[in-house]
Amino acid sequence: MVKSALAPIHRDGWPFVAGFAIVALALGQWVSGTLGWLGLLATAWCVYFFRDPERVPPERGGLVLAPADGLVEMVQPALPPPELGMAAIARPRVSIFLSIFDVHVNRVPADGTITELAYRPGKFLNAALDKASEENERQSIRLTVEGGRELAFVQIAGLIARRIRCDLAKGQTVRAGERFGLIRFGSRVDVYLPEGVVPLVRAGQRMVAGETVLADLATPSRSRGD
């Protein structure tokens, strides 16, 4: 926990940290010392929010890793976002909810090639709701893995999230666990697994981006309960 709290700050966080600090100093100098201290606490929270700790992905290939820190809200079959052009077949979907206290740097879930990117504006409903997958603003990514199978992962804006960042490009080769973007300030990330692949996580489990295994593509017929 100490290492996470003292982790480097993501580059997108520096303008916010600087803004919070300036406001805190102004409040303390020209309004009241109490407000200045409250501003410093807010600045410390901003530093904590934008922390970017190092992660160590598993060495073995063929794994699907959690793309985000947070709590698994749902594991259920669902159609992938239509804008990705994937077959309209229900796939296992793992939905991870990020609170304002989770690390918000997102990581690629599997080795492969980015074959489609699609941004869609939308609402800003509570990201913990099931309908947030269909109605909220989102950035969808289609990933082709070894053997030609496809999976999708989707950054979804939340109730107070107003900014999705995705640094991926179509045709880019990626590795599981590498950073690809972030969402601020509270959000959700969905992963749509290939058909027949059984998730190895359940609702209520806490995820660590780039480290927790969501599924094993090499053994699609096995689940944690088997």
Rounded to the nearest 10 degrees, what angle do helices 14-30 and 33-49 cross at?
Answer: 170
187-192 and 70-78 beta bridge pairing: unpaired
How far does the chain reach from its first CA to its final CA, in angstroms? 33
Q: What is the DSSP string of 25-69?
A: HHHHHHT-HHHHHHHHHHHHHHHHHTB-------SSSSEEE-SSS
In angstroms, the CA 22 to CA 80 distance is: 43
Residues involved in catalysis: 187
Indicate the helix (H) or strand (E) that contains 75: strand 70-78
